[in-house]
Structure 1
Amino acid sequence: MEFVQHYFQEGHSYGVILDMLLTYHDIKISLRSLKRHLKNAGLFRRKSYSLLSDVRNAIRAELRGPGQLFGYRMMWLALQQKHKLRVKRDDVMRLLKELIPRGTDQRTRRRFFRRTYHSMGPNYLWHVDGYDKLKQFGFGLSGCIDGFSRRVLWLICGHTNNDPAVIARYFITCVQRLGVVPMRLRTDCGTENGTLAAIQCTLRHHHTDYHAGSRSHMYGTSLSNQRIESWWSIFRKARAQFWMDLFGDLRNEGHFNGSNEHQCLLQFCFQNILQADLDECVELWNKHRIRPSRLAMCPGGVPNELYYLPHRSGSRDCGFPVEDVELSAFPESRLTAQLCGDKNIQEYLEFAMEHNQLQCPQTWEEALKLYFTLKETAGL
C-alpha cells in the first residue's frame, strides 16, 4: 500500500501509521496486516542497513553545507529522510565524532534552560516573528510556529520582512493551505504586524468563544514570544550560521559592501537556494522527535504527529475552519513574491543571464559563481 510505505519512510511508529490511515484515509487494518504489508515491501526497522561507506559519504556531503551544524540526531534524520539511507543512530554518532570531532565536543557542552509553557492544543496559539540576522545581506526571514506541537508553519525568505503586506500574505497563504485560522495569534509590536493582526481579528469576529474578535491577537515583547524566539536560537545553530559565515566572508573579502545594488544581486542569486534550504530545515524539524520536558505542559513527540493527531496526546484541534472566499477578500492574497527588492535591477539581471546564457543555480556553490559572474558583468 502506497500510504503505508509513505508513512513508514517518514519514520512514524506502527501505532501512528494505523491512526493516520484511519483518520485521514478511512482505512482500517490490523497491526498484523500492517507488518505483513511492510514485510512484502521489504521495509524493516532493524534490517537492510545501508553500507557505512555510503553513510560516510552522505555525512561528508552534509558537512560541506549547513549540515555541518547538525547534531547526531538531526544528522540521522537527514540521512533517513533526505538520503534514504538505513543506519543506526549510534553509527551516525560515531561517524560524526570521527569526521568532525571539534563540533561534536562543542555540542556536548551546551545546556538549555526553558520556561514553562502552556497550550491547549494545535492551532490554539501561533507565534509569528521576523529573523534579522541575515538582513544586513538583504534577506528578511519570517517564521511562524504552532505553540502546542512546535510545528513550524512557515519559514520564508524575502527581500523584506518589514512590509505589512508581505507578512500578511505569508499568513493568508498558510491559513489557506491548512484550512484553519488559529484561536489566537501572537506577535511583537512591530509595524509589520498591523495588517496581520487586523486579518486575524476579522477572520475571528463572527465566532462566539472567549478569544473571538479582537482578543484573538496579542501584542507582546520579543521576550514574551518565547516559542518562536526559542526556535530561532535552534535555527541559528542548525542552519543560519552557515549562511551568515558565507555572506560574511564575501563582505570581509571585499566582494559585498552592503549597498542596495549588492544586496539585490545577492538576493537574485541566492534567494531560491536559501529558500530551498529553509524548506528542508522545516521538513526535518517537523519530522524529528522532541523529548518530553518537565518544564513544559505540552507533550513530547514528533511535531507533525502532535499537530495532526492531537487526540493521541489527550488534546484537540483548537483552530477554526476558514473558507477560501473569506481569504480572497484581502488584497494581500493577490501579491506575488519577488527575487529582489528592486524591479529594475531584477529585470537587468534577468536580461544579463539570458544574454550570457547563464543557468539558474541549483546549489550554493553555483549561486556563488553566478554572483561573481553577474557582479563582473554589471561592473559592481
Structure 2
Amino acid sequence: MEYIKHYFEEGHSYAVIVDMLATYHDIKMSLRSLKTHLKDAGMYRRNNYSPINDVRNAIRAELHGPGQLFGYRTMWLALLQKHKLRVKRDDVMRLLQELNPQGTELRTRRRFVRRTYHSMGPNYLWHVDGYDKLKPFGFGISGCIDGFSRRVLWLTCGHTNNDPAVIAHNYTSCVQRLGVAPMRLRTDCGTENGTMAAIQCSLRHNHTDYYAGSRSHMYGTSMSNQRIESWWSSFRKARAQFWIELFGDLRNEGHFNGSNEHQFLLQFCFQNVLQD
C-alpha cells in the first residue's frame, strides 16, 4: 500500500500506477483492484482539496523562480508533488490567469521569447567553433566570428578541425593579421580548443580590466554559442548543403566508403573548390 500511496500522491494516472507496480515492484494488480485499494484507504481524486489560499500562496512562490514559465498542467503537478496540495486543474488555470497574466498571454500565443545578445563593441567577444557536417567526408571546417559586427575572422577547411595545433594556428594567425586580440574568447569544451585558450589567457595576462587573464576565455556548449551557430546555419543553406548532398550521393551509390583513401581522394579533388 505504501507504493500505491506514493505514486498516487505524485499524481500519476491509475493505469500508470498499475504499470509501475508491475515493472518496478513485481506487484501484479488489475485496475479495478487498484481502485478498490484506493477507496478503502480513503484516497480520491475529486475531494479533500487544499484551501485555495494555500494554493494561491504556493503559486506565488513558484512564480518567483522557473515556475513563471509553467503552464497550468505543469504548475498543477508542481503543486501536487512539491507542495503536497490537491487542487483542480481548472482552479490552477484560473489562478495563473490572475497571478501571471503576461505569462498566460505569451503561452496562449505560443510565443517563444528569445534572449537578447549583448556585445560592447568590435573585438569584445570572438566566437570559435568547428563545423562537422562535412567531417565524415574528410573536410574539417573551423571558423571564428566577431560577436559585435558578425565579421568572419577566419574560415579554414582542412583534413581536421580537432587538432589543438591547427586551431591554435588559426587563432594566432588571425591575431597577427589584425594586430589585436579579443577581450574575450568563447569556445565549446572540446580538447582542440585548449591550446588556443591558453594563448588567449597569456596574451591578456597583464591587462587590468575585469576580463584579464583566465577570465578572457569562456567555455560553453556549442548550441549556446549563438553567433557562430547562427552563421553555420546560413553557411549550410548557402554553401554546405550542396556538398553534403553531393558527397552523400557518392556514398549511397557506392563510390565512397569513408576510408582514409577515399577521404584523401575527395580532398584532392575538391579542396580548392571548398576553400573558395
TM-score by length of 2: 0.58
Q: Which amino acid aligns with 1:204?
A: R
Does 1:153 find its partner at 2:138? Answer: no
Cα distance in 2 for residues equivalent to 1:188 and 1:166: 16
- The percent identity for this pair of structures is 87
Aligned to 1:121: 121
RMSD, aligned α-carbons = 1.3
Aligned to 2:194: 194
Partner SS state of residue 154, structure 2: strand
Aligned to 1:310: none
Q: Following TM superposition, by how much is the alpha carbon of 1:115 offset from its aligned partner in structure 2, in angstroms?
A: 3.3
Cα distance in 2 for residues equivalent to 1:201 and 1:149: 23
| Stretches of structure 2 lacking an aligned partner (at least 5 in a row) | 1-111
Cα distance in 2 for residues equivalent to 1:275 and 1:195: 25
Aligned to 1:254: 254
Aligned to 2:203: 203
Q: Following TM superposition, by how much is the alpha carbon of 1:250 offset from its aligned partner in structure 2, in angstroms?
A: 1.1
Aligned to 1:266: 266
Cα distance in 2 for residues equivalent to 1:263 and 1:214: 38
* CA-to-aligned-CA distance 1:246-297 (integer Å, 9 cap, x gap): 1111111111110011001111221111001xxxxxxxxxxxxxxxxxxxxx
Q: Following TM superposition, by how much is the alpha carbon of 1:113 offset from its aligned partner in structure 2, in angstroms?
A: 8.2
Aligned to 1:173: 173
Cα distance in 1 for residues equivalent to 2:180 and 2:198: 16
* CA-to-aligned-CA distance 1:41-69 (integer Å, 9 cap, x gap): xxxxxxxxxxxxxxxxxxxxxxxxxxxxx
Cα distance in 2 for residues equivalent to 1:122 and 1:229: 19
The total of aligned residue pairs comes to 165
Partner SS state of residue 222, structure 1: coil
Partner SS state of residue 154, structure 1: strand
Cα distance in 1 for residues equivalent to 2:229 and 2:114: 11
Aligned to 1:238: 238
Q: Following TM superposition, by how much is the alpha carbon of 1:223 offset from its aligned partner in structure 2, in angstroms?
A: 2.1
Change in CA separation of 1:226 and 1:134 when aligned onto 2, cut-off 3 Å: same
- In the TM superposition, structure 1's runs of 4+ consecutive aligned residues that sit over 6 Å from their partners are none
Could you say which structure has the larger radius of gyration?
2
Partner SS state of residue 207, structure 1: coil
Cα distance in 2 for residues equivalent to 1:253 and 1:115: 44
Cα distance in 2 for residues equivalent to 1:255 and 1:115: 45
| Stretches of structure 1 lacking an aligned partner (at least 5 in a row) | 1-111, 277-380
Cα distance in 2 for residues equivalent to 1:170 and 1:202: 16
Change in CA separation of 1:173 and 1:113 when aligned onto 2, cut-off 3 Å: farther
Does 1:220 find its partner at 2:220? Answer: yes
Aligned to 1:98: none
* CA-to-aligned-CA distance 1:88-117 (integer Å, 9 cap, x gap): xxxxxxxxxxxxxxxxxxxxxxxx985310
After TM superposition, the structure 1 = structure 2 runs for residues 37-56 of structure 1, keeping only pairs within 5 Å, are none
Cα distance in 1 for residues equivalent to 2:115 and 2:179: 31
Change in CA separation of 1:270 and 1:114 when aligned onto 2, cut-off 3 Å: farther
Partner SS state of residue 157, structure 2: strand
Q: Which amino acid aligns with 1:172?
A: T
Partner SS state of residue 180, structure 1: coil
Cα distance in 2 for residues equivalent to 1:142 and 1:113: 30
Q: Following TM superposition, by how much is the alpha carbon of 1:188 offset from its aligned partner in structure 2, in angstroms?
A: 0.3
Change in CA separation of 1:151 and 1:184 when aligned onto 2, cut-off 3 Å: same
